[in-house]
């Protein structure tokens, strides 16, 4: 099985260090959420997972370039009723699904694609914001005709998931963390809360070291609805592929 990942930057799924926006092996710097996925897969199989040769990372710019190559008929219609932001999530998933299908055909192997995007949004945003964005990603994967796509959409940001494990009483009442504001100007933004818990700002490398020392507890973290949705969809997809 091959993982195809697309995130927003080093502190979530990771980043390319080859300046090409698409990378694997030594050119891929693993981020904390990629490590979290690795831990979840290892817990499922009981075997150590090696990313070398089994993981392809695609940055936002490379994914945007791929989207521009797609047939016009696949792209979302622009109208007053369809917000451009929702088209962004749809188009990202569509492009990643098409790319993942190409990787699967070339490698003659099963491919699981994970699209990470922060939900963001303010506390006052409508409750269905996360649902609409997640459905947009699901629609994009579906229209790409790729069956093994997984939305990874933390609410409001990935730091909320990490706070669940890092807080003084790990995972206690962690579902409340999803109510933190996604507006970075807020003093209660998850990034600032996570820094306060550690007493300093941890780099992506520092977060990975921390997760290596304190593996993520997916069972307890599943009290958070956005994490639970990701975990359930990932397991659903893994149930369908032959290797895992």
pLDDT tens over the chain, length 244 residues: 999 999 999 999 999 999 889 999 999 999 999 999 999 999 988 888 888 889 999 999 999 999 988 876 666 655 444 555 578 899 999 999 999 999 999 999 999 999 999 998 655 455 678 999 999 999 999 999 999 999 999 999 999 999 999 999 999 999 999 999 988 889 999 999 999 999 999 999 999 999 999 999 999 999 999 999 999 999 999 999 864 4
Closest CA to 97 of 83, 112, 79: 112
Closest CA to 115 of 204, 207, 1, 233: 233
Residue-level pLDDT at 46: 84
Residue 112 has phi, psi (to 5 degrees) of -115, 125
Q: Is the pTM of this model over 0.75?
A: yes
Per-position b or e across 196-211, b if 16+ CB within 10 A of its CB: eeeeeebebeebbebb
- Element holding 79 (H helix, E strand): none
**DSSP β-bridge partners for residue 150:** 114
């Amino acid at each position: 099985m091959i993982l195809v990942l697309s995130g927003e930057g080093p502190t979530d799924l990771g980043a390319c260090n080859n300046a090409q926006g698409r990378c694997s092996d030594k050119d891929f710097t693993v981020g904390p959420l990629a490590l979290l996925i690795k831990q979840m897969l290892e817990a499922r199989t009981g075997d150590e997972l090696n990313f070398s040769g089994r993981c392809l990372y695609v940055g936002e710019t490379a994914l945007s370039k791929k989207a521009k190559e797609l047939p016009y008929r696949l792209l979302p219609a622009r109208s007053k009723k369809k917000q451009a932001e929702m088209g962004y999530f749809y188009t990202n998933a569509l492009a990643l699904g098409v790319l993942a299908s190409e990787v699967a055909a070339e490698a003659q192997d099963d491919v699981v694609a994970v699209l990470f995007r922060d939900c963001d949004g303010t506390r006052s945003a409508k409750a269905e914001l996360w649902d609409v964005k997640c459905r947009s990603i699901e629609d994009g994967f579906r229209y790409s005709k790729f069956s093994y796509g997984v939305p990874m959409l933390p609410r409001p940001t990935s730091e909320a998931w990490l706070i669940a494990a890092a807080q003084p009483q790990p995972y206690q009442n962690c579902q409340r963390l999803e109510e933190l504001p996604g507006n970075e100007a807020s003093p209660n933004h998850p990034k600032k809360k996570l820094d306060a818990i550690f007493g300093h700002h941890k780099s992506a490398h520092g977060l990975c070291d921390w997760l290596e020392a304190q593996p993520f507890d997916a069972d307890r973290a599943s009290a958070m609805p956005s994490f639970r949705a990701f975990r359930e969809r990932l397991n659903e997809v893994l149930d369908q592929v032959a290797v895992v």
